[in-house]
A = this chain, B = another copy of it.
């Protein structure tokens, strides 16, 4: 039991808000947290809908003025679950108000915004205020295990990274134009929304950074019916049509700081693939592979074994020895998508209590933003592009 509380405000209450709320509710039930999170307020653009969300999601109150919320003395931490165009403004305000910040990815819609956020985070850090960006997939147990295996030297020197994030939810040309397909709201399309995840994961697992890229972005379907109403990722279609202003798909070849060659792809047009975050990393001593459509599994090949018994192992990442797993169920009992959000809350609360900087930091988020920008530039200039500032 903890004597000290951590009062949390969440901004935004759609898909990501539901996932974050579940995490705040659940983390203290399965983990022993050093601080006791209190779900104080959820903030949306509309007061009534925010109040309804509070009741449904388990927050003590609903609010509609995010500025008031981030300046409320009773609040210790601001959890930002809005679209990318408001991240910078809210996060900077919260940090300046001395609140810890958890900000959904991508950190921002532009490198410039992300730089401003990093500056704010660094300034706040001097006063013990913490900032973290929500690349939650790092906390899928199989991914955390992948990182551990690489760190232990089990795959040796990394030579190849192949990373894909494949979805198909807009493969149908009649699917409506959600905010995620509008550049002014979303900042980027497949590249920024889902490609950002695999960029972060590839760098996280290998411990290396992407140094230069050459890629291509594509919008297969240029116009779509306007969305009348948002519901999850889809929404209902209108009879009016509007232009798709983001990329439907992106692919690029990359060079890593450690010498590895990378191949990346992000698309929402891979028919039959629903949430296929796939990573395969080949090193001089072994390989690992992951697919989020089989999320509790990490494939691992140990090339130092006698060749007659060597093979990719299907590690079912549900053992008590695996990252985060001991808090949950007996071996073999699978975890789901939302567990990584719970793990994120656990790690964030522990970092705050310990007075350390939680990873991924805003600087990590900025670095991903720079890779995204370099891919975009290379697609425009038809040349290789460095990611360094």
Q: Is A301 an interface residue (CB 8 A)?
A: yes
* Among candidates B168, B220, B284, B315, residue contacting A309 with C-beta atoms closer than 8 Å: B315
Q: Is A45 an interface residue (CB 8 A)?
A: no
Q: Is A331 an interface residue (CB 8 A)?
A: yes
Contact A269–B15 (Cβ < 8 Å): no
Q: Is A244 an interface residue (CB 8 A)?
A: no
Contacts of A315 in B (CB 8 A): 308-311
Contact A303–B21 (Cβ < 8 Å): no
Contact A285–B263 (Cβ < 8 Å): no
Residue of B nearest to A156 (CB): B271
Interface residues of A in 119-153 (CB under 8 A from B): 145, 148-149
Residue of B nearest to A15 (CB): B330
Q: A30, A233, A331: which has the most chain B beta carbons within 10 Å?
A: A331
Contacts of A312 in B (CB 8 A): 272, 313-314
Q: Is A26 an interface residue (CB 8 A)?
A: yes
Contact A272–B249 (Cβ < 8 Å): no
23 contacts between A and B (CB under 8 A): A1-B55, A21-B29, A25-B26, A25-B29, A169-B331, A173-B284, A215-B253, A216-B255, A232-B330, A251-B253, A253-B253, A271-B283, A272-B312, A274-B319, A292-B332, A293-B334, A294-B294, A307-B321, A308-B321, A310-B313, A313-B314, A336-B336, A382-B384
